[in-house]
A = this chain, B = another copy of it.
Amino acid sequence: MAEATIRDVARYAGVGVGTVSRVLNNSPSVADTTRSKVLSAIEILNYSPNQTARRLSSGKTMAIGVLVPFFTNASVVRRLQGIVEVLADSDYDLVLFDVEKTQNRDKLLTNIASRKMVDGLLILSLRPHDRDMQRFLQAELPAVLVDANHPQLSRIVVDNVWGAETAVNHLIDLGHTRIAYISDYRENPFNFSPTSDRYAGYCHALQAAAIPYNPNYYREGALDREEARHLAHDLLTLREPPTAIFAYSDTQAIGVLQAAQDLDLQIPQDLAVIGYDDIETAVYLDLTTIRQSLYESGVKGAQLLLEIMQTPLTEPVEIKLPTELIVRKTTMTSEVIYTA
């Protein structure tokens, strides 16, 4: 038995396809009697409208794309969960685009815009090129950036400079002067802006405290626990090792903790560690960190996109989410613990 089409329903109900379509779309201008005839035909034939056909003729895809770099990244996942939460209650499908490789990124951004694959786009932690912007604007594709910045796009951001400064100031307040920073790659193909912002925050804080910047104390590597572990190992085996390490992400901070354990260092006596994100694991490990509202950023981003899709904005808006220092055991001894 082949799938029933709108035509089958029309024939069975003894009406025209137009009427069936009206019933499907809850048009008010259908007599109750015909409506029920159609509905029962639909029931009997077990009919269900074909999405694709509906999309083509209506010109809308009823789908929202979410562009995600490194889906294995804990903070990205958390943001995505917020997005899922919002979209699940909407009428839109969620199409997930993962861009691990740069070439994927370019191909995708080009296609998504010009092929009308989605009605709206959320871009996580990724700054689009200017040429992609042209495509979005030209295709009139509503898009919202989450955790990334571009003057021409609406966006959900956090103040990464402030966050990093706060982290480093916390270490300085505790008396540290040999403060290292393990960063993500600042020069990355994804144009990831938080990286340079946090670096700036690190530098500012040192400068404000008149602590000279020590190039040896700056390391960068992939956003990966193992790599951070190695970088931290290098730092901690310097002739004059740092007494505190600020890590770009909690994931990397965990690598630092492992390196400290490898070297039998006491936390926080021998080494203070502070991360960034406040992912769930940070709680269990009692990791001092900078909390950013990951989940909420996804929620806000999705909500904003839905609004924009309904009533386009005249110019991009920016929603800034708060950032907060969460002090736990990796920077301060236990008598002053913050309890989650």
Contact = CB atoms under 8 A, between A and B. Distances in A.
Interface string A29-55: 000000000000000001011111101
B114 A48 contact: yes
Interface in A251-267: 254
A110 to B, nearest CB: 8
B71 A115 contact: no
Interface in A110-167: 110-111, 114-117, 138-139
Number of copies of chain A assembled together: 2
A57 to B, nearest CB: 9
A96 to B, nearest CB: 5
Given A56-B56, A88-B98, A88-B104, A116 B280 contact: no
Contacts of A63: 95
A84 interface: yes
A56 B52 contact: yes
B254 A117 contact: no
A81 interface: yes
B81 A72 contact: yes
A88 B71 CA distance: 11
Nearest to A110: B48
B138 A48 contact: no
Contact of A138 (B1, B49, B114, B117): B1
A52 to B, nearest CB: 5
Contact of A51 (B46, B96, B116): B116
Contacts of A80: 71
A299 B321 CA distance: 35
A6 to B, nearest CB: 13
A116 B51 CA distance: 7
Contacts of A46: 114
Nearest to A139: B3
Interface string A81-99: 1001100100001111110
A106 to B, nearest CB: 14
Given A95-B63, A95-B94, A284-B284, A115 B51 contact: yes
A177 interface: no
A49 B110 CA distance: 12
A207 interface: no
Contacts of A308: none
A281 interface: yes
Given A71-B80, A93-B95, A94-B96, 15 more contacts: A1-B138, A3-B116, A3-B139, A46-B114, A51-B61, A51-B117, A52-B61, A55-B55, A56-B56, A63-B95, A93-B97, A95-B95, A95-B96, A280-B281, A285-B285
7 contacts: A3-B114, A51-B115, A51-B116, A52-B55, A55-B55, A77-B77, A94-B97
- 5 shortest interchain CB distances as A-B pairs: A48-B114, A52-B55, A51-B115, A52-B56, A94-B96
